[in-house]
Structure 1
Amino acid sequence: MKIKEVLLPVAALVSTTVLANTDESNTVNQMTFIEVTGELLSRSLLQSGNSVVVFDTKTLESRPELRTVRDVLSEIPNITMVTGTGKAPTVRGIDGTGAAENANAFFAGSRARLNWQIDGRSATYNEIVFGDLGIWDLNQIEVLRGPQSTLAGRNAIAGTIRVETQDPTFEQQFTIRAEGGNLDQKRLSATYNQPLTEQFSVRFAADQFERRSPVAYEPYPGVENPADMEGRAIRGKLLYEGDDQYDTRIVVTLTDNKYTGPNGEIIDYPFNERRSNFPQQPVHVTHTKSVGVEYNAAINEQLELEVTASATDFNFERKSTPDGSKANVDTKEYVIEPRLRYQGDNGTQWVIGSRYYSSKQDDWIQFIVKQSFTDDSNNFAIYSEGAFPFNEKFELTAGLRYEKENRKREGGDPDRAIAKIESDNDYSALLPKLGLSYQVNEEHTIGLQLSRGYNAGGGGISFGAPIVNYEYDEEYVNSLELYGRQQWADNSLSTSQNLFYSQYTDMQLPFDLTPENTRDEAYVVRNADKVTTVGFEFSADWRIDEQFNLYGSFALLDSEITDYPGSGLEGNSLFMVPSASMKLGGTWQSNNWVINVSGQYTDGWYTNISNDEGSKTDAFATFDTSLSYLISEQTKLYLSVRNIFDEDAPVALYPGTAPADSNEPDNHFDKAVLTQPRTISAGLQYTF
């Protein structure tokens, strides 16, 4: 059954439920309203119309099985986090990697569809696709599903992930954590916070983790074991809080993040042996050094000036065998974003700002011969968004963003005989947003919002015969969302729903130059005239009493390529799109114990855009648990298990073909990526 056929009854049921319960509650709200800090306007979860999932400090500390940001993303419905494929998360069916991926991303000048921010700094393409960040000393993780171009501008047509680390405080504190487990897991983390004066404080955080991929590889010169994975994050923050009339607040952040891991975890049949399809697997190393500044000052009781700025030095290295496809990317990025914020007495609020982004990139890849490129991008945006209540029940939200970018990319082999890229393109887009909310009562809100998303164009070369250079245009989306937010049972139960319909025009999709052979690499990227996605997302959190808490969410999703002449793809689904996904869990706290048990289910999906039946995965479910015991006020012991039952379901399938002289069936030549195996870890944390 197509999901389109069931969404309207679901939406009607939700709306009827919300509207039927209009009794005013006389109880005091017992739930902590979590602020969504990643939006332009200050809103709580109850007020936000975006389909946002928030993991705050308390949640992250109570669930030690969530070790990295990718672990968090893997359990959010309508986000497909396929670790081991060399791809970014897919959000609501939109591949966050972007149109160009793998080696083609080097030629095209990689550009993601997913915006990933760390303390306000947007991560680079290779950080998003190949990197990871450990969960240590984090304040909040916010995941906004759906187009966020009006919020974040470039590279946010799939959504936005916002990671906010802890700022310095004016209390002295030192915390250290040591952890180990199977798959050669080792982890050591520390945080030190020190007030310097009544106005200055510093905070240092460091996190180092190691583990081994479950896939069997082979060594080669320069790489002892491609299975070795390692992450390191070092961060220092300086806080200044003035006691003047402006309430000045300045935070300076220095970071040094590095991540190393295999390019992919694709394995050969039989899958239970987990043998790499390319044993001497290339290893990717991402290294980011950055400095960021956040400045806030109150001009008066209603106006506030905010300025954020950052400078980033990024390096990506692809290690491979002496005759392999080595690559290197060096990027320098600079961003400054001033904003003026207004908060009125009647609930009116607005923000106006601008953003300037500049990057210079030098990269090369060994493809037959050395291919060298230069890439310069300059982006300017101006935006505004406001919320205007026009009575006690209704509030209008309106926003507009103008984005303009110039991008120059040129290069290829020395003789330009294999690859030749010479592009100098200007892109611009006007991105409106409009929303209307109705507050049924203090605990119930419903609303709708419309927004437009955008992603710039690019170019590349095909890797199969025939080898051709190509370019593709910008892609756009118009998205409509209906949403509901509720508090029930004296505010002990919270629920939220988002029903969305998105229509993409000129969507950047693969186009097969040799449709008679879908398994070669003769693909280019072209613009599909029309693609639609439609879905529904529901979440609930029920604090039964002081000890028990239940949480859950589910999502439905349908996608269709409706107009793509000559591609042979019309009527197909986008890839990595499960029609249903679900998360359910519970937490028990008593005395010094905290126990969490959770499970997630996802329907199968197609691994490729051609929707070959051999590329479709089966539905699967995994379960996780964790246990924490507070030995004293300073010491905590914890144990966590991910994938308790060691589910080894394929999350990506690449169908093969038996050689002409073979008696074996075609599926014996398939390749796959499996779920990550059971992972057990234990740790000790001490604070003083």
Structure 2
Amino acid sequence: MKPISKPLSLIGLLLTTPALAAEDDEAVKLPDVVVSADFRPSTAQKTAVSLTEIDKETIEARSAQHLEEVLNLAPNVNVSAGASRGRFFQIRGMGILSQYDNPVNPSVGLIIDGIDFSRLGGAATLFDIEAIEVLQGPQGTKFGPNAIAGAITMRSAEPSKEFKMRAQAGIGEYNTRNFGVAVGGTIVEDQLLGRASIYTHKSDGYMQNDTLGRDDTQKQDELTFRSKFKLFATEDLTLDFTLMHVNVNNGYDAFTLDNSRRSQANQPGADTQNTNAFAVKANWQASDAVIIQSEATYLNSSSTYSFDGDWRTENDFEKHNRDRDNYSFELRALSDKAGRIFNGSTDWTVGVYRFVQDEHFKSSVDYRSYGPDELTQLRGKYKTENTALFGQLDSHLTDKLTLVSGLRVEDFKADYADSGFVTSVPSSTQKRLDEVLFGAKLGLNYQANADQLLYTSLTRGYKPGGINNKANLPQNQRQFNTEYMWNFETGLKSRWLDGSLITNLAAFYAKRLDAQTHSSAQIAGTGNFIEFYDNAARASHQGVEASLDWFLTDQFRIMGSLGLLDAKFDSYQNPNPAAYNAQGRQVAHAPKYTFNLGTEYYPNDSWTIRANVEGKDSFYFSDSHNAKSNAYAVLNASTDYRFDKHWKISVWARNLFDKDYATRGFFFANNPANNFLVNEKYVQYAEPRIGGITVTYDY
């Protein structure tokens, strides 16, 4: 096998890792960050979309173990827990908040190393993750129906030609302990590169269970294995293989009647997930005119979500088991420089996509302390099939002006079937959906010079309809229709002061049509709820996202972001009159502002000192009631000491002032002291103050 002498056009760009360096008498320049937000890899500052890049150094600075612990860095992004982790994501006020026994279609896509984890946010662990990209706004032309609000992509470290090894160990409060190893390098000279990592994270969690005398009922126990192989099959063909295993065995015991961190539950729940995933990608330089790319993925996941239904010593309990198999295949062709059309002015991309999800579920909801009929036992299956054709043209009207036009046509099919009973009502349901969906993008990008990009775009996103599985619902509420959204956005991406300052500014206005809303109302005198999705609303979402990254000197850096959001229901016709009418009100989990401001100080080559404050405005917990969170701001800090070229010791703290703030909330009657007659607000808190020490060895 000959050594690779001609790098593939796109692969060469992907494998380029810019260095953060400067001459002694020059200002420090911020690096170009390569992102995958479009079909063609590009740098973040030349990608015409509002995005937030969270790099490895930022993840490590706060000893972040899961995606939920860094998402506050992205403007107009929120997270909902209701589980051991905040694993339901919202961007610009759109996104699901929870899942029990009902099948759901996400609004925010979660892509890890090219594999769709959109319904499996618990798998978003962070060891050996090189970068996180948070893409705000509809991304349907590339990512399809899971990204009407945006997408979050996570990219682990790539194999390298040189041998590299990383070992990391850490300890922290609440009996937190971590250990991981990553190793990579050349396996076969000039042919095969590889990298593998394994990492375990354990913590007792942040709840004290007084009934059981335990402090680990909200425990975290997470194991992640990743491996990547890059095969240079020929001079023009490269194959990438990815294998992942995620084993999450977390507890779930988060809610109390007095909104404290002292649980009275006698049956604490679980939030577990066992996932295996595989992907293979091919990049083939078919000619000087055309690049062919293909990607096939498979994912199998078994999960359990359970909790004490009364939060006390009654025997009310919910348990939801799911087994998922996901298959996907994508084939696309992209023009290289010689393949441009229209007199060499236009790059083109065309492709086909196929995604199948086969889900089997089993749910048990037992509230018989309220009466003998308050028992639901349901099993069934939910299968979805997506088949899409897509294309995009990037027409270079001048050296500086580019017109982007994209289209995606998608056939969506869903089959649902169940058997069992819902609160003693027999259920034997079969439903089928079959619809054709359209997404589009029209954009105009003006690259004024190497440092200034002005862009504007109009996109049409979509989210397919779905099925409600509650047998006690009338037939006209058993399914709901597709939601569409038109989004207009304009932005400016800039470099200033010889590259030492980067600023980004984006403004957007979105109109949601047939918005899918979640309704929930407690059945009086019981622990059960009537819950369903419906096309109850039209909504307008508008706002601003701004960020900066600035090396004021070669020793001092500041970073920050600000999101402003006005997201309201223009009309709201709740099909359940007993539920709250949210017309004219801010939508759920859409704080009017989010912010973060951080600093880094490098007194010498050995030390790095960091601090940042991040927070958000209050927000409604649900579209079905009027309970809200409190506004908050939290402070994080860390100090790194490097020595002997290989070692780094980090001392870190998150939520330094021990602020209590909520990531999930409910409003209903659950307190026996009030005879279950008074609706009250109940919240799940995010982590309290936690600090620790992490030691890293790099070779």
Q: Distance in 2 between matches of 1:520 and 1:311?
A: 36
Deviation at 1:539, TM superposition (A): 0.5
Secondary structure at the aligned position of 2:69 is classed as helix
Q: Distance in 1 between matches of 2:73 and 2:547?
A: 12
Deviation at 1:191, TM superposition (A): 0.7
1:375 aligns with 2:387: no
1:255 aligns with 2:254: no
> What is the aligned counterpart of 2:63 among 56, 62, 65?
65
CA contact (8 A) 1:462 1:469 kept: no
Q: Distance in 1 between matches of 2:51 and 2:283?
A: 25
CA distance 1:498–1:278, change in 2 (3 Å): farther
Return 169-178 or 562-571, whichever deviates more: 562-571
Q: Distance in 1 between matches of 2:248 and 2:223?
A: 6
What one-letter code is carried by the residue in structure 1 that aligns with 2:325? Answer: K
Q: Distance in 1 between matches of 2:200 and 2:286?
A: 42
**Residue 438 of structure 2: aligned partner:** 430
Alignment of 1:67-106 (within 5 A): 67-84=65-82, 88-97=88-97, 101-103=98-100, 106=101
Q: Distance in 2 between matches of 1:664 and 1:318?
A: 25
1:328 aligns with 2:321: yes
Secondary structure at the aligned position of 1:154 is classed as helix
**Residue 194 of structure 2: aligned partner:** 202
**Residue 611 of structure 2: aligned partner:** 597
CA contact (8 A) 1:512 1:518 kept: no
CA distance 1:205–1:663, change in 2 (3 Å): closer
Alignment of 1:140-179 (within 5 A): 140-179=131-170
1:560 aligns with 2:568: yes
Secondary structure at the aligned position of 1:409 is classed as strand
CA contact (8 A) 1:202 1:239 kept: yes
Q: Distance in 1 between matches of 2:486 and 2:253?
A: 34
CA contact (8 A) 1:218 1:225 kept: no
CA contact (8 A) 2:426 2:471 kept: no
Deviation at 1:354, TM superposition (A): 1.1
Deviation at 1:59, TM superposition (A): 4.1
CA contact (8 A) 1:588 1:595 kept: yes
CA contact (8 A) 1:133 1:233 kept: no
CA contact (8 A) 1:462 1:521 kept: no
Q: What is the TM-score with the length of structure 1 in the denominator?
A: 0.87
**Residue 609 of structure 1: aligned partner:** 623
Same amino acid, percent of matched pairs? 21
**Residue 205 of structure 2: aligned partner:** 213
**Residue 535 of structure 1: aligned partner:** 543
Deviation at 1:463, TM superposition (A): 9.1
Q: Distance in 1 between matches of 2:521 and 2:676?
A: 29
> What is the aligned counterpart of 1:316 among 303, 307, 328?
303
**Residue 586 of structure 2: aligned partner:** 573
Secondary structure at the aligned position of 1:152 is classed as helix
Q: Distance in 2 between matches of 1:518 and 1:38?
A: 47
Return 80-89 or 329-338, whichever deviates more: 80-89
Q: Distance in 1 between matches of 2:354 and 2:51?
A: 26
What one-letter code is carried by the residue in structure 2 that aligns with 1:284? Answer: D
What one-letter code is carried by the residue in structure 2 that aligns with 1:357? Answer: F
Q: Distance in 2 between matches of 1:665 and 1:515?
A: 11
Alignment of 1:276-675 (within 5 A): 276=263, 278=265, 280-318=267-305, 324-344=317-337, 348-367=346-365, 368-413=375-420, 417-462=425-470, 470-511=478-519, 521-565=529-573, 568-589=581-602, 590-610=604-624, 612=626, 615-655=627-667, 670-675=681-686
Q: Distance in 2 between matches of 1:295 and 1:183?
A: 45
Alignment of 1:90-129 (within 5 A): 90-97=90-97, 101-103=98-100, 106=101, 108-125=102-119, 127-128=120-121
1:40 aligns with 2:39: yes
Deviation at 1:656, TM superposition (A): 5.4
CA contact (8 A) 2:514 2:535 kept: yes
What one-letter code is carried by the residue in structure 1 that aligns with 2:490? Answer: L
**Residue 53 of structure 2: aligned partner:** 54
What one-letter code is carried by the residue in structure 1 that aligns with 2:456? Answer: L
Deviation at 1:654, TM superposition (A): 3.4
What one-letter code is carried by the residue in structure 2 that aligns with 1:473? Answer: N
Q: Distance in 2 between matches of 1:45 and 1:232?
A: 31
What one-letter code is carried by the residue in structure 2 that aligns with 1:288? Answer: T
CA deviation vs aligned residue, 1:308-357 (integer Å, no higher than 9, x gap): 11111111123568873333211222111111111327774332111111
What one-letter code is carried by the residue in structure 1 that aligns with 2:407? Answer: L
Deviation at 1:496, TM superposition (A): 0.7
Q: Distance in 1 between matches of 2:263 and 2:683?
A: 10
Deviation at 1:491, TM superposition (A): 2.1
CA RMSD of aligned residues (A): 3.1
CA distance 1:635–1:409, change in 2 (3 Å): same
Q: Distance in 2 between matches of 1:120 and 1:664?
A: 48
Q: Distance in 1 between matches of 2:548 and 2:526?
A: 42
**Residue 8 of structure 1: aligned partner:** none
CA distance 1:490–1:463, change in 2 (3 Å): farther
What one-letter code is carried by the residue in structure 1 that aligns with 2:193? Answer: S
Secondary structure at the aligned position of 1:522 is classed as strand
Deviation at 1:387, TM superposition (A): 1.5
Q: Distance in 1 between matches of 2:345 and 2:688?
A: 50
Note the residue ranges of structure 2 that are not aligned, 5 or more in a row. 1-25, 309-314, 339-343, 366-374, 576-580
CA distance 1:675–1:488, change in 2 (3 Å): same
What one-letter code is carried by the residue in structure 2 that aligns with 1:215? Answer: M
CA contact (8 A) 1:266 1:277 kept: no
Q: Distance in 1 between matches of 2:146 and 2:153?
A: 14
Q: Distance in 1 between matches of 2:78 and 2:427?
A: 33
Q: Distance in 1 between matches of 2:65 and 2:378?
A: 38
CA distance 1:84–1:319, change in 2 (3 Å): closer
What one-letter code is carried by the residue in structure 1 that aligns with 2:552? Answer: I
